[in-house]
Amino acid sequence: MEASEPRRRRAAIVCVDDEPAVLAAVARDLRRQFGERYRIVRATSGPEALGALKELVARGEQVALLVADQRMPGMAGTEYLVEARKLVPDAKRVLLTAYADTEAAIQAINEVDLDYYLLKPWDPPEEQLYPVVEDLLTTWEAGAALESGGVRVIGHRFSRDSHDLRDFLARNRVPMRWLDVERDSEARELLAVAAVEDGRLPVALLEDGTVLERPTVLELAERLGVSAAPASDHYDLAIVGGGPAGLAAAVYGASEGLRTVMVEREAPGGQAGTSSRIENYLGFPTGLSGSDLARRATDQARRLGAELLTVQDAVSLRVEGAGRILQLSGGGTLSANCVLVASGVSYNHLTAEGFDTFTGKGIYYGAALSEARSCSEQHVVIIGGANSAGQAAVHFSGYARQVTMLVRGDSLAKSMSHYLIEQIAAIPNIDVRTGAQAIAAGGDDHLRTLRIRDADGEHEEDVDATFVFIGAAPRTDWLDGVVGRDERGFILAGADAKAAGFPLKRDPYTLETTVPGVFVAGDVRARSIKRVASAVGEGSMAVSLIHEYLAE
Cα angle: 431, vertex 436, 439; to 5 degrees: 120
Grade residue 515 by pLDDT with cuts at 50, 70 and 90. very high
* Count of CB atoms situated within 10 Å of the CB of 144: 15
Average pLDDT over residues 397-425: 93
Identify whether residues 410 and 372 lie together within a single domain.
yes
Q: Domain tally for the chain?
A: 4
Which CATH number covers residue 83? 3.40.50.2300
- pLDDT recorded at residue 27: 94
Instruction: Give every CB contact of residue 551 below 8 A, 6+ residues apart in sequence.
Output: none
Torsion, Cα of 253, 256, 259, 264 (10° steps): 20
pLDDT value for 284: 83
Helix axes 244-255, 532-550, angle to 10 degrees: 40
Q: Are strands 345-347 and 314-320 parallel, antiparallel or unpaired?
A: unpaired
**Inter-residue contact 311 to 221 (CB < 8 Å):** yes
Those residues with Cβ within 8 angstroms of residue 163's Cβ, 6 or more apart along the chain or in another chain: 360, 361, 364, 368, 370, 371
Is 389 inside any structural domain?
A: yes
Pair 339, 243 in one domain: yes
Q: What is the pLDDT of residue 149?
A: 59
Among the residues of 195-226, which ranges form H helices? 217-224
Q: What is the pLDDT of residues 329-385, one digit of tens each?
A: 988 899 999 999 999 998 899 999 999 999 999 999 887 777 888 898 999 999 999
Per-residue pLDDT tens over the stretch 1-56: 443 334 457 899 999 999 999 999 999 999 999 999 999 999 999 999 999 999 99
| Region of poorest pLDDT, from 37-41, 118-122, 262-266, 404-408 | 118-122
**Which amino acid is located at 221 in the chain?**
A
Residue 385 lies in a domain: yes
Q: Are residues 139 and 175 in the same domain?
A: no
Helix (H) or strand (E) run with residue 153 in it: strand 151-155
* Whole-number average pLDDT of the chain: 90
Mean of pLDDT values over 255-260: 96
Shared domain for 398 and 300, answered yes or no, is no
Q: Give me the mean pLDDT over the 263-271 stretch.
A: 87
What crossing angle do the helices spanning 160-171 and 217-224 adopt, rounded to 10°?
A: 40
Output the furthest CA–CA distance in the chain (Å, rounded).
Answer: 77
Query: 455 lies in which domain range?
Result: 363-470
5 within a domain of the structure (yes/no)? no
Residues 307 and 203 in one domain: no
CATH code at 397?
A: 3.50.50.60
Q: Give the DSSP H or E segment for 392.
A: helix 387-397
Provide the pLDDT for residue 109: 75
Neighbour tally for 325: CB within 10 Å: 15
Q: Determine the pLDDT at residue 8.
A: 54
30's enclosing H/E stretch is helix 20-34
523 shares a domain with 414: no
pLDDT of residue 112: 73
Q: What's the CA gap between 377 and 383, in Å, rounded? A: 19
Distance between CA atoms of 396 and 93, rounded to whole angstroms? 21
Domain's final residue, options 470, 485, 513: 470
Q: Is the pTM of this model over 0.85?
A: no
**Residue 150 confidence class, pLDDT cut points 50, 70, 90:** confident
Q: What is the pLDDT of residue 146?
A: 62
Give the dihedral sign, CA 108/109/115/120.
Answer: positive
In this structure, is the dihedral angle defined by the CA atoms of residues 455, 460, 465 and 467, taken in order, positive or negative? positive
Domain membership flag for residue 3: no
When pLDDT is cut at 50, 70 and 90, the band that residue 459 belongs to is very high
pLDDT at 123 (0 to 100): 84
Question: Which of 166, 189, 219 marks a domain boundary?
Answer: 219
Whole-angstrom Cα distance, residue 509 to residue 224?
A: 40
Is the CA virtual torsion 131, 292, 294, 302 positive or negative?
A: negative
Q: What percent of the chain has pLDDT over 90?
A: 63
Q: Does 402 lie in the same domain as 431?
A: yes
Q: Is 404 helix (H, G, I), strand (E, B) or coil?
A: strand
The domain that holds 189 is classified in CATH as 3.40.30.10
Q: How many CA atoms lie within 13 A of 198 on its CB side?
A: 5
The DSSP line for 7-22 is SSPPPEEEEE-SSHHH
Strand partners, 465: 380
Are residues 478 and 466 part of one domain? no
Return the pLDDT at 4.
38
DSSP β-ladder status, 430-434 and 457-462: unpaired
Residue ending a domain, among 83, 117, 146, is 146
Q: Do 388 and 299 share a structural domain? A: no
Residue 351: name the closest of 309, 383, 306, 385 by CA. 383
390 and 462 housed in the same domain: yes
Residues 111 and 25 in one domain: yes
Q: Which residues pair with 360 in a beta bridge?
A: none
Domain assignment present for 416: yes
In a domain, 29, yes or no: yes
Mean pLDDT of 499-524: 97
Tell me, yes or no, whether 358 lies in a domain. Answer: no
304 and 286 co-located in one domain: yes
456: pLDDT strictly greater than 80: yes
Residue 411 lies in a domain: yes
Mind listing the pLDDT tens digit for each residue in 268-294?
888 788 787 788 888 888 788 888 899
Q: pLDDT by residue (tens digit) across 49-88?
A: 999 999 999 988 999 999 999 889 989 999 999 999 999 9
Residue 147: pLDDT above 70? no
Residues with Cβ within 8 Å of 185's Cβ and at least 6 positions away in sequence, in order, are none
